[in-house]
């Protein structure tokens, strides 16, 4: 493939797509992890965190456990309590408690999106009343907001349409969302927060595959004359990046048809999937190389913010999507973590790439330095022929970073502790740079080009 980059033509300011990040409560890292993550991939504009209502509040005793040990199941043997994703949850391997998890991540992010989930099924089945749910939701948000001021975005529930998270119909979910939105409105009025709370939902799974649920949710919003919504939220897991554009276009058409407000669309989880169920989960190189086109395409969609899944996860469950692993006393980036580092290393101004028809190339500049990111998500090797034209005549050095089965891959070589230089090339007295690279299957390359001193 021929790749022609015009250094004289700026397309736009690069939007820093890596600034929205995710966490999980199923396998929580220690409290020193957020600092390490910030050092490697930058400080998130929004970090998505979680509170599970059944861990913070016990419906049987009306007791609150504000700083609960994450992942400790009090409901074993309780037939009235729904199973949710408890079978996939482990007690925090580092014995991390909820407030410590929240504080440590919030300290290394500009703002927090707090997802609040569980007890959805107990409400639907009449075990917990809507009035009680609303009261508990409000009290929980109020408590954590008091202690963590940069909590801003409240996401009501997570993937409630699938059995693991409740298996609700939209007609069952929407009253829960109304409870949450009223609670947030009261808290904002009561406290006049410097950073007011915003409410959104519904954290739908599977993007285009579950469009019928999105349509139903939007219709319920449109019929609700007292609705309160500050952003929409959904997830997408698929190897076809065009699904992102299709969802965005359909969402915008539906929003306009129903006369709903133009608001941020938070894709609060994004990753690869190449089949159905757990069998469709990718390996880490598939995820790393596959996310590039999706996040580039998504960056052109007004108001869309994408949160790749996930910064740190259980390697026995989601090794293919975790960005970091713990090895001994430190955290090591996986190929997916290296891709976030590459996004972070891109320069402020995006350049025109004339012949990339597959959205696998990102080229950026800052004065007379350049950074190029190239992905090959295919199962076969691929040859790229690069031309960087219209640069100032000078001597340049190009540093190359490869992420594939043989380079910068801690899953194959535990000595790969960080993203390291794979090759250096020097160019003398040139006003254009040409080079050809054969990329291995499911790989990502990063090139920095600077004037030699």
* Contact (CB, 8 A) for 26 and 52: no
Q: How far is residue 317 from each of residues 87, 124, 193, 283, 310, measured CA to CA in Å?
A: 12, 30, 39, 11, 12
For the chain, counts of helices (H) and of strands (E): 11, 21
Helix (H, G, I), strand (E, B) or coil at 168: coil
pLDDT digits (tens, 9 = 90+) for 346-394: 999 999 999 788 999 999 999 989 999 999 999 999 999 999 999 999 9
Q: Which helix (H) or strand (E) holds 36?
A: helix 33-41
Phi, psi (degrees; rounded to nearest 5) at 170: -65, -30
The reply to whether 155 and 173 lie within a common domain is yes
The reply to whether 324 and 368 lie within a common domain is no
- CATH code, domain with 447: 2.60.40.1500
Domain boundary residue among 310, 344, 378?
A: 344
- Cα(121)–Cα(163) distance, integer angstroms: 10
Domain boundary residue among 328, 344, 360?
A: 344
Neighbours of 68 (CB within 10 A): 19
Closest CA to 331 of 40, 103, 47, 70: 40
- CATH code, domain with 78: 3.20.20.80
Q: How far is residue 396 from each of residues 6, 29, 370, 392, 433, measured CA to CA in Å?
A: 17, 41, 10, 10, 9
Closest CA to 221 of 265, 177, 187: 177
Bridge-based pairing state of the strands 369-376 and 46-52:
unpaired
- Cα(285)–Cα(306) distance, integer angstroms: 19
Task: Enumerate residues 6+ apart whose C-beta is below 8 A from 417.
Answer: 330, 332, 410
- Helix axis angle for 98-106 and 33-41, nearest 10°, is 20
Cα 45 versus chain centre, distance? 12
Residue 62 has which token pair?
Answer: 């009306």
Cα 295 versus chain centre, distance? 10
Neighbours of 92 (CB within 10 A): 21
The reply to whether 328 and 389 lie within a common domain is no
Q: How many domains does the chain have?
A: 2
Helix (H, G, I), strand (E, B) or coil at 227: coil
Q: What is the dihedral of CA 256, 260, 265, 267, to 10 degrees?
A: -90
* Contact (CB, 8 A) for 148 and 103: yes
The reply to whether 133 and 280 lie within a common domain is yes
The reply to whether 368 and 237 lie within a common domain is no
The reply to whether 163 and 238 lie within a common domain is yes
The reply to whether 102 and 205 lie within a common domain is yes
The reply to whether 291 and 379 lie within a common domain is no
* Contact (CB, 8 A) for 168 and 213: no
The reply to whether 313 and 171 lie within a common domain is yes
The reply to whether 249 and 115 lie within a common domain is yes
Neighbours of 402 (CB within 10 A): 22
Across 27-91, where does the E strand assignment appear? 46-52, 57-58, 63-64
Q: What is the dihedral of CA 147, 309, 44, 361, to 10 degrees?
A: -170
The reply to whether 151 and 40 lie within a common domain is yes
Note the residue count of the chain: 453
- Residue 277 has what pLDDT? 66
Q: Which residues of the chain have pLDDT under 50?
A: none
* Contact (CB, 8 A) for 58 and 123: no
Per DSSP, helices labelled H in 72-164 are 98-106, 120-124, 130-147
Q: How far is residue 322 from each of residues 96, 101, 112, 202, 300, measured CA to CA in Å?
A: 19, 18, 20, 24, 25
- Cα(255)–Cα(276) distance, integer angstroms: 29
- Residue 278 has what pLDDT? 63
Q: What letter would DSSP give residue 230?
A: S
The reply to whether 158 and 254 lie within a common domain is yes
Domain of residue 49, residue span: 17-344
Domain boundary residue among 313, 344, 375?
A: 344
DSSP 278-325: GGGPPPHHHHHHHHHHHHHHHTTSTTEEEEES-SB--HHHHTTT-SEE
- Residue 416 has what pLDDT? 94
pLDDT digits (tens, 9 = 90+) for 100-113: 999 999 999 999 99
């Amino acid at each position: 493939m021929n790749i022609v980059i015009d250094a004289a033509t700026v397309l736009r300011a690069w939007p820093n797509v890596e600034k929205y990040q995710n966490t999980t409560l199923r396998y929580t890292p220690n409290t020193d992890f957020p600092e390490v993550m910030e050092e490697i991939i930058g400080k998130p504009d929004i970090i998505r965190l979680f509170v599970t209502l059944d861990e913070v509040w016990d419906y049987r005793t009306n007791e609150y456990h504000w700083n609960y040990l994450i992942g400790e199941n009090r409901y074993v043997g309780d037939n009235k309590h729904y199973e949710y994703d408890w079978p996939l949850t482990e007690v925090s391997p580092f014995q991390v408690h909820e407030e410590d998890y929240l504080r440590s991540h919030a300290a290394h992010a500009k703002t927090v999106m707090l997802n609040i989930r569980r007890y959805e099924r107990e409400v639907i089945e009449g075990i917990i009343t809507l009035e009680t749910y609303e009261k508990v939701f409000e009290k929980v948000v109020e408590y954590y907001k008091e202690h963590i001021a940069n909590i801003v975005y409240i996401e009501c529930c997570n993937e409630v349409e699938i059995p693991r998270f409740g298996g609700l119909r939209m007609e069952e979910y929407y009253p829960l969302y109304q409870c949450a939105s009223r609670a947030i409105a009261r808290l904002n009025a009561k406290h006049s927060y410097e950073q007011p709370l915003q409410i959104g939902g519904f954290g739908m799974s599977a993007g285009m595959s579950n469009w019928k649920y999105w349509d139903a949710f939007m219709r319920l919003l449109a019929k609700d004359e007292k609705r309160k919504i500050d952003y929409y939220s959904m997830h997408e897991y698929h190897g076809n990046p065009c699904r992102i554009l299709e969802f965005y276009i359909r969402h915008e058409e539906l929003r306009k048809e129903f006369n709903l407000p133009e608001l941020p669309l938070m894709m609060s989880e994004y990753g690869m999937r190449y089949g159905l169920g757990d069998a469709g989960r990718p390996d880490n190189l598939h995820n790393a190389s596959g996310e590039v086109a999706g996040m580039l395409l998504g960056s052109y969609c007004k108001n869309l913010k994408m949160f790749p899944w996930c910064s740190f996860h259980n390697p026995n469950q989601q090794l293919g999507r975790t960005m970091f692993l713990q090895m001994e006393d430190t955290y090591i980036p996986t190929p997916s973590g290296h891709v976030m580092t590459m996004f972070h290393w891109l320069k402020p101004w995006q350049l025109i790439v004339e012949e990339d028809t597959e959205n696998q190339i990102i080229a950026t500049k800052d004065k007379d330095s350049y950074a190029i990111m190239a992905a090959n998500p295919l199962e076969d090797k691929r040859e790229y022929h690069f031309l960087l034209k219209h640069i100032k005549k000078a001597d340049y050095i190009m540093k190359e970073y490869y992420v594939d089965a043989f380079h910068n891959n801690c899953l194959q070589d535990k000595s790969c502790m960080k993203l390291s230089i794979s090759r250096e090339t020097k160019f003398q007295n040139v006003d254009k740079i040409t080079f050809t690279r054969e990329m291995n299957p499911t790989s990502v390359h990063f090139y920095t080009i600077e004037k030699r001193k």
